[in-house]
Amino acid sequence: MRKLHTFHGGIHPAEHKLESSAQPSLRAPLPQRLVLPLKQHIGSAAKALVQAGDKVLKGQLLAAAEGMLSAAIHAPTSGTVAAIDFHAVAHPSGLPELCIVLQPDGEDRWLEHAGFDYRALPRDELLNRLRDAGIVGLGGATFPTHVKLNNAQHIQTLILNGAECEPWITTDDRLMCERAAEIVQGIEILRYLAQPADTLIGIEDNKPQAIAAMQQACAGSGIEVVVIPTLYPSGGEKQLIKILTGKEVPSGGRPLNIGVVCSNVATAFAIHRMVNHGEPLISRLITVTGNVKSPRNIEALIGTPIAELVQLAGGALEDANGYIVGGPMMGLEVTNAQLPVVKGSNCIIVKSDKLFPAPPPALPCIRCTRCVQVCPAELQPQDLYWFARAKNLGKAQSYNLFDCIECGACSYVCPSNIPLVQYYRFAKSEIWANERDKEAANLARERHEFHLLRIEREKQDKADKLAQKEKAALAAKAAAATQAQPIPSQPAQSQPAPDPATVSATDAVAIDALRAQVREIAHPEAKHTKE
Amino acid sequence: MFPPFTTQASSVREIMFKVLLALLPGIALYVWYFGPAILVSITLASLTALATEAVMLKLRRRPLAPFLSDNSALLTAWLLALSIPPLAPWWLVVVGTMFAISVAKHLYGGLGSNPFNPAMVGYAVLIISFPAYMTHWLAPQGLGQLELNFMQQLGYIFGGHFPAGVTVDAVSMATPLDTLKTQLHSAHSMGDILQMPVYGNLGGKGSEMVALGFVIGGIYLLANRIISWHLPLTFLAALFATAGAFYLFDPAHYAPPLFHWFSGAAMLAAFFILTDPVTSPTTIRGKFIFAAGAGFLTYIIRVFGGFPDGVAFATLLMNMCVPLIDAYTQPKVFGKKGEQ
């Protein structure tokens, strides 16, 4: 038996897992229309490769990964690109995003595709294929998988996250029950890439069926299924790593810093489908639960509208009043049923006042420190709240605001019903905005200073040239006066005409050096803060 | 709505209500040993607190309903009423409560914003302004020279006069702590003093039982996780250690530590006053420092100060230090444990 560790705090919210976990999953029929946001992952948006009117096949690349941190988007079915336009998406900002709208043709015809032997490929090539298949972390954070694995070689521990600690959500549970063998095949690919000493799967003890299925599938593979106590948020990456290894991911760091890579079981499944079947990430399992007739898990194409999935779960009951995308602890409330599900959508909860009553009005904080007792990041939420409220952002940062994982445990226990996480998000976004402004101002000032410098230099050059000319003229005059043999003129012409390319190159170096100098003088602290 | 969309059903009102509930055993024993006069002062204090709270909320343009029903003003009222002698003119408790709620609580920003424990501020104001009234405590039943019936007590509280031929000295007496101090000054030995009828097994007769009632309430609060053990246990340990050190040094002149535990407001302070979350530190290390300081100061003020008890001033002095204590006792967060 592996020795388990504990993280500080945590809560036991009502689980509500049984509603949807008992039903076998269902494959959704083709929807009327698919809406595919170009940004469904952390990083920069993918770059669209198709135009309105293009006919596409299922699995065809629609948008390519753009830049270092990005992931590709594929056609979930065959059809016609109806538009590339701004469309409402499930995002806290409420701002529309650029989406590819796909009109299915009903044939669901695949692009030619096939699995491949990953062991025959160089590591880089395999990672590139993950990127081009649009594989991102499916636990919710949607971090591009190829980036995560890029530097992960010969690590200590590979952890598969099957904890699924948030109430109501059961997609990982169902997936492990139904697709255990395929998940293990995906894990083997991850093991090939990361070459870990240990491979562990962490599953909360409220999923006995999934545990049994995974144990059976892992038999003889060297992968260890570790049953952990049910405690929210044990599925948080840092918390799960702590439970399984006793190590803490350093503040501001990544699991790789302590020799750990953590990936969701659903991501492992997606990797398996890609490598062994050649299928890019175009569908996922989603829990549809809450105030619906028959809650269940549904395998849906990415881009399917919420409304169609709710219909497949028997439809919303009468007193339904909105949807939560994600879980009840960290999810997002939306009212528009036409919003598409994206790669990171693991759950849709239909709301009602009975299931999710509005909290009573917030009272002042009485410093009872119930939040401190449950905070898995070991923060002082009441102090952070105080600083965020007062817009004392520097103080909030020095009290480790950015170590907050926004799990919501503090708000859950707050007797004053203060929406604490909202305050932290506000403070974080204010700090980011301030930093962007500062950066922009610095850049503008540098440009301006450089502009002045250039004018000065041009003036100097002109003056020098003029002086030289005058000197030459004077010399010529003197020579003429002595009536001697005219001296062959040599001054400026003695140097070969400089090649414009080299000039600009040397200038660029000089400019950079100058910039660095200016920056250092203007912001001696900048270097410090960036570290 | 914001995430999380689900919350634990707990509220400030419920927390405060449970604290009030936890005071009941102590109050019941108080009535048993000292008569029902305490109920009069609790009622007076409660009504004054609610009225003052309402007026202050109105003046501050805050909604009345959520704050009047949060039970926090009632708790301040009860704690203050339990800290002052029940046999006193009605205006004493009224003035103290009004000051506690209006100045110590609302002028600092109301619920959650007051740096000082309002009940202790009320007590401090009364003992400084009306010291004479604050020393006339009811004698436990069977010990007074004269005993007033409840109607006679009401007559004094509201009318300010005793039945013919009765003086305040005849119906009241100094507290056990006060008695100890004066008797020691008259060069009696500790052993002789503690044999006096005013003393029971551990502290004062009757009052030691009331203290026990507060311990029972405290255990209820601990069991319900309304308070954590850090503050009460540290306070009691510090008081015990300080008293024990002096007692070991000179048992003839210093009372045994258990006496200090069960005299005055020590138990009330340990479980109900220091544990006020608003005015105590939020960090664990901070709680240790705060409570240890309060225990130490309580003893010093009791033994070397001029007041009958040290709890109120010890609490207020430590309240003052809370922001500093919190700032210097911040724990290491997740992922920063290795850093220096």
Q: Locate the domains of chain B by residue range.
A: 12-173, 184-327
Q: Please state which of the ranges A141-145, A284-288, B230-234 shows the lowest mean pLDDT.
A: A141-145
A529 pLDDT band (50/70/90 cuts)? very low
CA-based nearest distance A423→chain B, Å: 11
- Residue B281 CA to residue B235 CA, distance in Å, equals 13
Q: Which two tokens stand for residue B137?
A: 């405590």
CA-based nearest distance A262→chain B, Å: 16
Nearest to B334 among A378, A383, A412 (CB): A378
Q: Are residues A331 and A387 in the same domain?
A: no
Residues 330-369 of A with CB under 8 A from B: 330-333, 351, 356, 358-361, 363-369
Closest CA to B157 of B274, B282, B45: B45
A333, A407, A412: best mutation site toward chain B, by most B Cβ within 10 Å? A412
Q: Are residues A194 and A218 in the same domain?
A: yes
Confidence at residue B293, expressed as pLDDT on a 0 to 100 scale: 97
Q: Are residues A73 and A183 in the same domain?
A: yes
Residues A408, B331: C-beta atoms closer than 8 Å = no
Confidence at residue A530, expressed as pLDDT on a 0 to 100 scale: 41
Q: Are residues A251 and A340 in the same domain?
A: no
Distances (CA, A) of B278 to A368, B111, B115, B288, B311: 7, 8, 7, 16, 17
Q: What is the CATH number of the domain that holds A438?
A: 1.10.1060
- CB-based contact (8 Å) between A416 and chain B? yes
Q: Using a CB cutoff of 8 Å and minimum separation of 24, what contacts does A106-111 make?
A: A106/A30, A106/A79, A107/A78, A108/A30, A108/A58, A108/A77, A108/A78, A109/A57, A109/A58, A109/A78, A110/A57, A110/A58, A110/A59, A110/A78, A111/A57, A111/A58, A111/A59, A111/A60
Per residue in B259-317, pLDDT (tens digit) is 899 988 999 999 999 999 999 999 999 999 999 999 999 999 999 887 878 899 999 99
Q: What is the CATH number of the domain that holds A58?
A: 3.40.50.11540
- Chain B residues in contact with A11 by the CB 8 A cut-off are 8
Asked if B54 and B296 touch (Cβ cutoff 8 Å), the reply is no
Domain that holds residue A342: 286-352
- CB-based contact (8 Å) between B10 and chain A? yes
Confidence at residue B168, expressed as pLDDT on a 0 to 100 scale: 72
- Chain B residues in contact with A249 by the CB 8 A cut-off are 335
- CB-based contact (8 Å) between A246 and chain B? no
Q: Are residues A448 and A389 in the same domain?
A: yes
- CB-based contact (8 Å) between B329 and chain A? no
Q: Are residues A343 and A440 in the same domain?
A: no
Query: Residue A341, Cβ neighbours under 10 Å: how many?
Result: 29
CA-based nearest distance B190→chain A, Å: 42
Number of H helices, E strands in chain B: 17, 2
- The residues near A58 (Cβ < 8 Å, ≥ 6 apart) are A75, A76, A77, A78, A108, A109, A110, A111, A282
Domain boundary among A324, A352, A380: A352
**Domain-located, residue A13:** no
Confidence at residue A521, expressed as pLDDT on a 0 to 100 scale: 56
Confidence at residue A151, expressed as pLDDT on a 0 to 100 scale: 86
Residues 100-159 of B with CB under 8 A from A: 110-113
Residue of chain B with shortest Cα separation from A364: B112
Asked if A291 and A355 touch (Cβ cutoff 8 Å), the reply is yes
**Domain-located, residue A494:** no
Q: Are residues A185 and A137 in the same domain?
A: yes
Q: What is the CATH number of the domain that holds A335?
A: 3.10.20.600
Q: Are residues A245 and A129 in the same domain?
A: yes
Whether A244 has a pLDDT exceeding 60, the answer reads yes
Phi (first) and psi of residue A297, to 5 degrees: -105, 140
Confidence at residue B305, expressed as pLDDT on a 0 to 100 scale: 85
Closest CA to B308 of B133, B167, B143: B133
Residues B282, A13: C-beta atoms closer than 8 Å = no
A342 pLDDT band (50/70/90 cuts)? very high
**Domain-located, residue A147:** yes
Question: A288 forms bridges with which residues in the sheet?
Answer: A296, A348
Q: Are residues A223 and A315 in the same domain?
A: no
- CB-based contact (8 Å) between B7 and chain A? yes
**Domain-located, residue A443:** yes
Place of tokens 């007076």: B44
A432 compared with A509, residue with greater pLDDT: A432
Residue of chain B with shortest Cα separation from A369: B282
Q: Are residues A161 and A59 in the same domain?
A: yes
3-state secondary structure of A531: coil
**Domain-located, residue A497:** no
Residues B110, A253: C-beta atoms closer than 8 Å = no
Q: Please state, rounded to an integer, the average pLDDT across all residues of chain A.
A: 89
Q: Which two tokens stand for residue A134?
A: 């649009």
Residues A238, B5: C-beta atoms closer than 8 Å = no
Q: What is the pTM of this model?
A: 0.85
Q: Please state which of the ranges A333-337, A522-526, B80-84 shows the lowest mean pLDDT.
A: A522-526
Domain boundary among A267, A285, A303: A285
**Domain-located, residue A142:** yes
Place of tokens 């920056």: A519
Q: Are residues A276 and A291 in the same domain?
A: no
Whether A528 has a pLDDT exceeding 60, the answer reads no
Domain boundary among A227, A261, A285: A285
Phi (first) and psi of residue B88, to 5 degrees: -150, 155
Residue of chain B with shortest Cα separation from A253: B335
Residues 433-452 of A with CB under 8 A from B: none
Asked casually if ipTM beats, i.e. exceeds, 0.95, the reply is no
Q: Are residues A250 and A321 in the same domain?
A: no
Confidence at residue B145, expressed as pLDDT on a 0 to 100 scale: 64
Nearest to B334 among A329, A364, A377 (CB): A377
Whether A494 has a pLDDT exceeding 50, the answer reads no
H-helix or E-strand spanning residue A245: helix A237-245
For range A312-335, the mean pLDDT: 93
For range A28-36, the mean pLDDT: 93
- Chain A residues in contact with B6 by the CB 8 A cut-off are 13-14, 167, 328-329, 356, 412
Per residue in A174-225, pLDDT (tens digit) is 999 999 999 999 999 999 999 999 999 999 999 999 999 999 999 999 999 9
- CB-based contact (8 Å) between A500 and chain B? no
Q: What percent of chain B has pLDDT over 90?
A: 64
Closest CA to A11 of B6, B21, B2, B142: B6
Q: What percent of chain A has pLDDT over 90?
A: 77
Question: Looking at the 3D structure of chain A, how many domains does it have?
Answer: 3
Residue of chain B with shortest Cα separation from A366: B112
- Residue A173 CA to residue A413 CA, distance in Å, equals 27
**Domain-located, residue A482:** no
